[in-house]
Amino acid sequence: MGKKLVDELVDKTISKKDLFDKVKNNYDLLPEIVNGMSSSKAAIRYGCGKVLMDISEENPEKLYPYMDFFVKLLDSQYRILIWQSMAIIANLTKVDKEKKFDQVFNKYYSFINNDYMVTVANLVGHSGKIAMAKPHLINKITEELLKVENIKITSHLTPECKKVITEQAILSFSMFFDKVENKGEVITFIEKHLNSTRKTLKSKAENFLIKRNN
């Protein structure tokens, strides 16, 4: 039944939303959906990935037994699978009783040096959620986010892309700043963007500092 369901993603006889609803009503389908992320067919790979992202957001405990699988997908040749796995892993940190994320922290955050803007932005954007789930890692996460200043420019990561990533860093910092030990470093990092030529970055920097001063 499960295989038939994921195959229907190819000819669109089932939508990702319908598949999500079916899994929610019968979690025995989960193994087939998880296996679908390894499919040779893009519609199945990414369709199943999207469904599992939604499940990890809503019911992370159901996917936690598969966390090792998603960690392995961080080595995928497909960037979309990496992005989906990063999102799922971030959601699973809320129920990570075995501290599996702690063991793969360096692997996860190695993507801060990735050549692609979307990959780095995803990592940075998920960091607030991870920090809230794992406050004992806040200092390490802060160190990683501050590296945004030094990420290299590539053909897939322009100076403007770097500003987008910086916006994500500020949004993540805003989620857990009250728990940061070295607040001065973070403030200094954000102050550097008060005169940014990117209006949204300038606005996020200003709003962050206004909230901290009130």
Letter for the amino acid at 21?
D
> Residue 3 pLDDT > 90, yes or no?
no
With a pLDDT cut of 90, the percent of the chain lying above it is 94
How many Å apart are CA 203 and CA 100, to the nearest integer? 37
Q: For 169-175, what is the mean pLDDT?
A: 98
* Close Cβ partners of 113 (under 8 Å, ≥ 6 residues apart): 147, 151, 152
What pLDDT shows up at residue 5?
Answer: 85
Q: For 94-109, what is the mean pLDDT?
A: 98
How many Å apart are CA 56 and CA 59, to the nearest integer? 5
How many Å apart are CA 112 and CA 89, to the nearest integer? 16
Chain centre distance of CA 144: 14
Residue 75 is classified by DSSP as G
Please provide the distance, in angstroms rounded to a whole number, between the alpha carbons at the two ends of the chain.
Answer: 56
> Residue 212 pLDDT > 90, yes or no?
no
> By three-state DSSP, how is residue 154 classified?
strand
Q: For 115-119, what is the mean pLDDT?
A: 96
Q: For 81-103, what is the mean pLDDT?
A: 98
Q: For 72-77, what is the mean pLDDT?
A: 98
What pLDDT shows up at residue 213?
Answer: 78
Q: Tokens 């939604």 sit at which residue? A: 54
Confidence of residue 33 (pLDDT cuts 50, 70, 90): very high
Domain coordinates in residue numbering, the chain: 105-214
Residue 110 is classified by DSSP as G
> Residue 118 pLDDT > 50, yes or no?
yes
> Residue 141 pLDDT > 80, yes or no?
yes
Give the dihedral sign, CA 127/130/131/137.
Answer: negative
> Residue 48 pLDDT > 50, yes or no?
yes
Q: For 34-44, what is the mean pLDDT?
A: 96
Q: For 8-37, what is the mean pLDDT?
A: 94
> Residue 1 pLDDT > 80, yes or no?
no
* Close Cβ partners of 53 (under 8 Å, ≥ 6 residues apart): 84, 87, 88, 91
Strand partners, 154: 157
Mean pLDDT of the chain: 95
